[in-house]
Amino acid sequence: MQISFAAPKAAPSGGSWVVAAAEGGVLAPAALRADKASGGALSRALKFSRFTGKSGQFLEVAAPAGLAASRLLLVGLGKPESVDEKALEQIGAQITARLQALGDSAATFEIEIPKGKVKSGEIAAHLAFGARLRAYRFDKYRTKNLDEYEQRLVTLTIAVKDVAAAKKAYAGLAAVADGTLLARDLVNEPPNVLYPAEFARRAKTALIRLGVKVEVLGEAQMKKLGFGALLGVGQGSARESQLVVMQWNGAGQKGKKKQAAPVAFVGKGVCFDSGGLSLKPGNAMAGMKGDMAGAAAVTGTMMALATRKARVNAVGIIGLVENMPGPDAIRPDDVLKSLSGQTIEVLNTDAEGRLVLADALTYVQQRFKPRFIIDLATLTGAIVAALGFEHAGVFANDDRLAQRLTEAGLYTGERVWRLPLDPAYDKMIRSKIADVKNIGGANSGSITAAQFLKRFVEEGRPWAHLDIAGVAWQDGERKVMAPSWATGWGVRLLNRLVKEHYEA
């Protein structure tokens, strides 16, 4: 969908004209102008409708007399003082969904918020951002009934008085949209197409052109370095495991700033998770192409930061494997030696993501000495039982980092909820023959997984673990800003965190 910003006209020359009303049915200035130009069409329609201006309400007037527009679409804003950036993005997505159903190819949004707290340029930018995320499609493998899935809304104009301010505000948001949609594409791809080497290739292709340095370590390099845990997960697959290292050095072009310690993001990239020899049942295996959503989020975040030229040094590390029950697969009762030197007793090969992360966490610390580390992983079903599909779980050894993530989540809508880390849980992952075992039993599964990861984080290194198993994809009702199975969760959150607290 092509999005542009333009100064308001008397009336659009075609397509849908979208205007707004506040709660109580109070028409905004553009809506009043549209009503007058159409000979009172909106006023008459309001008299015979249940429209009150509440958030999410719509009122449609098709083929309005006196206008070239195909329809007038009145959208409810709710209470103007409650309309913030997140609400504007939701409104932009809701309007786009409605217009897609109606079938117009072009639309003009002219939405003001009387006495609102967001400036006009920001209003336009956040409306466009929500529309862009909603317009996403993943239809590349469809061959029949294509008209049913066709993206009919192809041209969107946002009418705004301060066009320059809108363009400036949208530039940064467009970068975040690019990263989010890349993450969605990666998660939506089928596993026979997106195996570890192909994921690595796509990450490199997408990021190098933006100025990101990308290195790919294969199995021989990782074996030489001592990645015993990550390679153990992948050794049952015919597909070679990969480690992708992405570096964006945006803090400065010379001097100390360029050498500043980076912020670090680590992603679990299990491109397909069969469970290994601890084989998942069939109904639990479906959808396990998405077990690399943490790696996808890290890749998308690196794209967002590089595209908007974020003034920060950032590194992204993703461990890419397949967990398959091949003849060389690890067994329950095997002991692996991790990159950190710690030994891990494997009691369940389906608790594999933490093994991948253990080595990736060690590597990023040894090589980069980062300011903080945040890892993202579709790690446990237990987090879904605890938090459902609205919050990711966050575990942290640093209160300030946890609070900043919480605040970024509230702003972007990618919400997190902090759960405890406590040495009392360590007894549940104490091994009888090794340093640690990879599962802790039926209870507290998300916490014991986080306690496991904590063992691979250096003392004093700020770290947070995001368990995104409940938010990375959706099998039921679609969220308004995420119309596909994959949500691209995490890119908006991490970008906001960096923008607010860590840019030079």
Q: Which residues are catalytic?
A: 280, 354
What are the Cα distances from residue 208, in Å, to 217, 262, 315, 339, 381?
16, 18, 14, 28, 35
User: Taking a C-beta distance cutoff of 8 angstroms, is the pair 320, 199 a contact?
Assistant: yes
| Alpha-carbon dihedral 173, 416, 456, 269, rounded to 10 degrees | -60
Vertex 497: Cα angle to 495 and 500 (nearest 5): 105
User: Taking a C-beta distance cutoff of 8 angstroms, is the pair 151, 105 a contact?
Assistant: no
Q: Tell which residue, 28, 65, 24, has the closest CA to residue 44.
A: 65
199 token code pair: 């994921």
Report the half-sphere exposure of 260 (CA within 13 A, side-chain side).
21
- Residues in contact with 65: Cβ distance below 8 Å, sequence separation at least 6, in sequence order: 38, 39, 41
Residue 243, strand partner residues: 217, 319
Residue 374, strand partner residues: 265, 464
User: Taking a C-beta distance cutoff of 8 angstroms, is the pair 303, 182 a contact?
Assistant: yes
60 token code pair: 């449609």
| Alpha-carbon dihedral 352, 356, 361, 367, rounded to 10 degrees | 170
- Residues in contact with 463: Cβ distance below 8 Å, sequence separation at least 6, in sequence order: 361, 372, 373, 374, 375, 396, 397, 398, 401, 454, 457
134 token code pair: 């909603």
84 token code pair: 């913030």
276 token code pair: 């290994």
Please provide the DSSP assignment of 78-101 as one string.
--GGG--HHHHHHHHHHHHHHHHH
Helices and strands counted in the chain (H then E): 17, 18
CA distance 38 to 392: 47
38 token code pair: 């159409």
CA distance 344 to 71: 64
